[in-house]
Amino acid sequence: MILGRVVGSLWCTRKHAGLGTYKLLLVRPYFYYDPSHETEQVVAVDTVGAGVGEDVVVCLGAPARWSLGDANLPVDAAVLGIVDRCQLQRVAFEGGAPAREGGPRARPLAPLGAQPPRTVEWIE
């Protein structure tokens, strides 16, 4: 799964019959993730009622399809839950300082200038 922020939604009139009732959300991932989905935004089916501005967890691949009850749907991403809060080690996000004495330098998870998750609480 990946952590991302809902930045919008999209709708359409002509679509696969099985997708009739699902809301589609535009989600911007906070971190690099699966190389086959290396885009700035991913479109995910909403199953929990998420709104713009909320942090969400998105499930990718076949499990996202099966969770909608039909293995034949053309879906490969689904919102799994809405994030109330998350904790993250600051050293893992920013990189630089050794995580522990004598340990290797941490490589930053986020590219330079990237925003941390909206709901983050730092673990120092």
Partner 1 sequence: MIRGVVVGEVWGTRKAAGLDGRKLLLVAVERSDRLVVGVDTLDARVGDRVLVTWGSGARNVLQPGPGNRGVLCDAAVAMVVDGSSDPPAEEGECSSGA
Residues that bind partner 1 (CB under 8 A): 1-3, 30-33, 47-49, 57, 59-64, 66-67, 69, 71, 78, 80-89, 91-93, 98-100, 103-109, 123
Q: CB of 13: closest distance to partner 1 in angstroms?
A: 27
CB distance 86 to 119 below 8 Å: yes
Q: CB of 53: closest distance to partner 1 in angstroms?
A: 15
Host H or E run for residue 60: strand 55-60
In the bound state with partner 1, the residue whose beta carbon lies nearer, of 49 and 74, is 49
Q: CB of 23: closest distance to partner 1 in angstroms?
A: 14
In the bound state with partner 1, the residue whose beta carbon lies nearer, of 13 and 36, is 36
CB distance 84 to 52 below 8 Å: no
Q: Which residue has the tokens 């941390």?
A: 116
In the bound state with partner 1, the residue whose beta carbon lies nearer, of 74 and 104, is 104
CB distance 23 to 79 below 8 Å: no
Host H or E run for residue 62: helix 62-66
